[in-house]
Structures are given as structure tokens and as C-alpha cells.
């Protein structure tokens, strides 16, 4: 069976949980502050901030996410209609008295599929020896056409450094470009950086 070529990153997509547990689509609704002026795309990392809302987490080597953004719902300020969509547009106008809620995959045990790049959106393969490494992120801007993130893991940053936000758990063999050349990986947010498992709170 032929698999499609991976030509660009698409952010982090939940696939299952550690130990082979099924990802059943469990998410949490988290509030975005009215007027928040940064777009957030499907597959982007988000973090809790002071005041109880969430924002885009655009860290590369020092991200401290609470989860992955999987969509948004709000009442449009112009039409008065409830909208559910793939990404949050920066400074989205909403109906007076209403709120904006993001859909977030926040379970610290969630495993995600992600593309490896060496610069911006240049897809770059790594070998099986990448498994077990910690790795930094590349924070590319998402697409307002598809609503999808373009975040990737950075092939040039493999290390044992505990502060790096992502741990590589496995390779995706179906889209390998060679015998030991993988462009998609299964990853997990590191225990030292996920906001539910790090001892550092949000003040």
C-alpha cells in the first residue's frame, strides 16, 4: 500500500496514550481572553497564563504547554451566531458578554504525531536512533487557509537536556523515505515541561 508523501509539517496530532491506551478524543474547554491578539492553529501548543486563560505557547527549547489546541468555539460579534472552527483568528470579535473557548488535548499521557524539519518547514528525515531523545520545536506560523498548525520538531536539536519540551517515543514507519529515514515521529510532552506535571505553577 502506498502512503502519501509528507511534504510539510502539520503541528502535533493526538494518536493515542502511553502504554497503548486509546485516545478517545478526551479534551478540555479552556478560555481564551477576549481580544487575544495572536492566532492559534489546530495542532499548536498552548499554555495556561495568569488569570486562568490560555495563550499560544511559542517556545522552542523552553515551551511549557498545558496541551495541544484542537479547535475553538465562540459567538461571533457581527452575526451573533455560535461558531466552531479549526483555528482561533487573532483579535476575534465576539458577542458582548460571551466567551471564547478552546478545545485542548491536555492529558499529560497523550502521544502525538509530528513531522521533523531542520529549518522552518523543510521536511528532514532522522534515523531510528532519534528514539528516546529530547528535542526542540520549530514554531512556524499556521495556515489561515486550512486552519492547521505548521509546528515541527527540530532535527538539529536532539539531546538529553531535561528542559527540552518534547520526547521522541517512536517512528512512523508507514511514511519512511528510506530504510532508516523517518519524517514522522510519535512524541510526548516532557514531564519536566507539561504544566500538569512540572512543580512550577502559574502565578
For 21, the grid coordinates are 491506551
pLDDT for the residue 2: 52
36-67 pLDDT tens trace: 999 999 999 999 999 999 999 999 999 999 99
Rounded CA gap, 113 and 170, in Å? Answer: 9
The Cα–Cα gap between 137 and 65 comes to: 12
Q: How far apart are CA 185 and CA 128, in angstroms?
A: 10
Residues 156-196: tens digit of each pLDDT: 999 999 999 999 999 999 999 999 999 999 999 999 999 99
What pLDDT does residue 203 have?
76
22 against 81, higher pLDDT? 81
Tell me the β-bridge partners of 28. 104
Report if pTM > 0.85: yes
Q: How far apart are CA 18 and CA 78, in angstroms?
A: 43
What is the DSSP secondary structure assignment for residue 97, as one 8-state letter? T
Closest CA relative to residue 11, chosen from 39, 32, 41, 37? 41
Half-sphere exposure (Cβ direction) of 168: Cα atoms closer than 13 Å: 31
| Cα torsion through 92, 97, 103, 109, rounded to 10 | 120
Mean pLDDT, the chain, integer? 95
Please state, for a pLDDT cut of 70, what percent of the chain lies above it: 99
pLDDT for res 1: 44
CA distance 122 to 134: 20
The whole-angstrom distance between residue 1's C-alpha and the CA centroid of its chain comes to 29
User: Which one-letter DSSP state was computed for residue 52?
Assistant: S
> pLDDT by residue (tens digit) across 113-126?
999 999 899 999 99
Q: Which residues pair with 30 in a beta bridge?
A: 102
Amino acid at each position: 500500500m502506498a502512503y502519501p508523501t509528507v511534504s510539510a509539517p502539520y503541528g502535533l496530532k493526538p494518536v493515542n496514550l502511553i502504554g497503548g491506551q486509546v485516545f478517545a478524543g478526551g479534551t478540555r474547554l479552556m478560555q481564551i481572553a477576549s481580544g487575544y491578539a495572536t492566532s492559534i492553529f489546530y495542532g499548536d501548543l498552548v499554555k495556561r497564563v495568569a488569570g486562568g486563560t490560555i495563550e499560544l505557547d511559542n517556545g522552542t527549547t523552553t515551551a511549557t504547554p498545558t496541551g495541544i489546541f484542537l479547535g475553538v468555539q465562540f459567538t461571533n460579534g457581527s452575526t451573533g451566531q455560535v461558531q466552531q472552527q479549526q483555528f482561533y483568528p487573532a483579535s476575534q470579535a465576539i458577542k458582548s458578554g460571551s466567551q471564547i473557548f478552546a478545545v485542548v488535548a491536555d492529558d499529560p499521557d497523550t502521544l502525538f504525531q509530528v513531522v521533523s524539519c531542520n529549518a522552518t518547514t523543510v521536511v528532514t528525515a532522522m534515523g531510528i536512533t532519534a528514539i528516546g531523545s529530547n528535542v526542540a520545536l520549530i514554531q512556524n506560523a499556521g495556515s489561515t487557509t486550512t486552519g492547521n498548525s505548521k509546528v515541527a520538531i527540530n532535527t538539529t536539536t536532539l539531546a538529553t537536556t531535561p528542559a527540552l519540551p518534547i520526547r521522541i517515543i517512536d517512528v512512523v514507519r508507514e511514511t519512511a523515505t528510506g530504510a532508516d529515514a523517518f519524517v514522522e515521529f510519535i512524541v510526548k510532552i516532557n514531564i519536566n515541561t507539561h504544566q500538569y506535571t512540572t512543580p512550577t505553577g502559574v502565578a
